[in-house]
Amino acid sequence: RALRDPHRPRFHFTSPGGWLNDPNGLSQWDGVYHLFYQYNPLAPAHHRIHWGHATSTDLVHWTDEPVALVPGTDGPDRDGCWSGVLVDDGGVPTLVYSGRHGEHELPCLARGSADLKYWTKDRANPVITAPPEGVDITAFRDHCVWREGSGEDVVWRQLVGSGIRGAGGTAFLYESDDLRTWRYVGPLLTGDASQNRGELDWTGTMWECVDLFRLGEDGEASGTDVLVFSAWDEGTTHHPLYWTGRYEGDTFTPTALHRLDYGGRYFYAPQSTRDDLGRRIMFGWLQEGRTDEANAQAGWCGVMSLPRAVTLDANGNLIQAPVPELGLLRKDHLQVAAGPLTSPYTQLHRVRGDQLDIETTLRLAPGATARLVVRETPDGAERTVVEVSRAHDGTVGTLRLHRENSSLDPTVDTEPRYGGLPLGDDGRVDLRVLIDHSALEVFANGRPLTARLYPTRPDEAVGVGIGADGDVTLERFDAWQMASAFPDGPRPLWP
């Protein structure tokens, strides 16, 4: 076992060892942030999933807590405690999750101790004993639960992720007075799996991890409703998408469908919560891009994204940005002088590293391209390129990640990634790039692109460079080395 795996991130949350997938039960309780996650402590493989648990007061430094949910020796969750949420049931922390037994996944409850460390499963589990009758479904799991109404008319509402065979992904809506007895209301929204305009925004045959929330200028009372889901089909995790629209009564009326992260499956199954500062905070799961054998060797796999604050722009698109608290880890500030970028490529000898936070503002003339190279070996044999370009006509652009040369290891995924980049009339791009060993998160004008990189010479792949074709001005370039979020540097593997 590689006890010091050079690909293990140091300021992204990872599990102490074994397997990690979706964020679960995301919440702030008495001022403390709680991050639960899909976890197999026994091996880096997706099998008999537990709920891991970590807490933080600043969203940056995390403390491991006891494993929250363990699959039963018998009963509805004997094959795994799958994704779900944490709700406040009159002061009692309560988890709603998918209990798995055989091929069945059904909603279950667990009540927590006041410190949220110890959980007791409800005797009545599963609290919904079967998917809706008479509907041919593709799957039925994952939960979004909230309290709605006022005065006497307060009810719990729940969405369960699903899909209707022959139609498409679906969020089923349920209602309850006590979280224990649920009435089926109907499908809140169903996608269209036959519509496959482009691979990149196909809505799939099943929606995993549905998450519904309202965003608006005026608190969250008025505003736009956002329905996030991860498109899934026949065992394949495709990508996260979101609908914007209006949730009213028992339906969601969509206005537009958007890609949530241009990294596709590298930012999967996100979940969000509203924190005490009124922010919508989102985490997603960064899947691995190396083989199962490589994961087994490493002894760990799966990375939690950095926490993102999510807001809306004037056109109804989500704007995503890492929370400002990450600044706590910044050290060794370096700047590059502003001015026109006249060369196709220049190495920045002072900016180097595999734990970096880079913020730059670029101005692109029509037809111009700017690139930021990261994780480059001195001979350039391994390098990863973040590229932003502006079309010849108008205000549209493209954000691209070239990973073709990110690794000489032929077994790791090096597929490029790309997506649309909104540009103002002035061609301005605010680019933020966070590098944390194998984890890479890019934000260009609020559009994220998340991916993984596994250079074969990780200790040498620390070079950074910039360059341009066409008329590009560098308006600012700031970089910081990032400290480890774990006390001893690398996150130790247990036991």
Which residues carry out catalysis? Answer: 22
Cα–Cα dist 278/274, whole Å: 6
Which positions from 224 to 243 touch ligand FRU by CB under 6 A, shown as an x/- string?
A: -------------x------
208 contributes a contact to ligand FRU by CB under 6 A: yes
Query: Environment class of residue 341 by beta-carbon count within 10 Å: exposed (0-12), middle (13-18) or buried (19+)?
Result: buried
Which positions from 14 to 53 touch ligand FRU by CB under 6 A, shown as an x/- string?
A: -------xx---------------x----------x----
Least distance to ligand FRU, CB of residue 15, Å: 13
Of 5, 142, 261, 275, the one binding ligand FRU (CB under 6 A) is 142
Q: Which is nearer to ligand FRU, 251 or 295 (CB)?
A: 295
162 contributes a contact to ligand FRU by CB under 6 A: no
Of 10, 61, 121, 141, the one binding ligand FRU (CB under 6 A) is 141
306 DSSP 8-state letter: P
Terminus-to-terminus CA distance in the chain, angstroms? 12
96 contributes a contact to ligand FRU by CB under 6 A: no
Of 14, 55, 56, 98, the one binding ligand FRU (CB under 6 A) is 98
Q: Diameter of the chain by CA atoms?
A: 70
Whole-angstrom CA distances from 49 to 19, 21, 37, 82, 100 are 9, 9, 9, 6, 9
Sheet holding 346-352, edge to edge: 346-352, 463-469, 369-376, 384-390, 396-402, 417-422
> Which structure tokens are listed for 303?
């990375």
Of 86, 109, 209, 374, the one binding ligand FRU (CB under 6 A) is 209
- CB count, 10 Å around CB of 121? 20
Of 19, 39, 82, 477, the one binding ligand FRU (CB under 6 A) is 82
Q: Which is nearer to ligand FRU, 77 or 275 (CB)?
A: 77
Of 20, 228, 231, 269, the one binding ligand FRU (CB under 6 A) is 269
Cβ neighbors of 305 (< 8 A, separation 6 or more) are: 12, 267, 270, 282, 283, 284, 285, 286, 441, 450
User: How many chain residues bind ligand FRU (CB under 6 A)?
Assistant: 14
Cβ neighbors of 337 (< 8 A, separation 6 or more) are: none
Q: Which is nearer to ligand FRU, 83 or 272 (CB)?
A: 83
Q: Which residues bind ligand FRU (CB under 6 A)?
A: 21-22, 38, 49, 82-83, 98, 141-142, 208-209, 237, 268-269
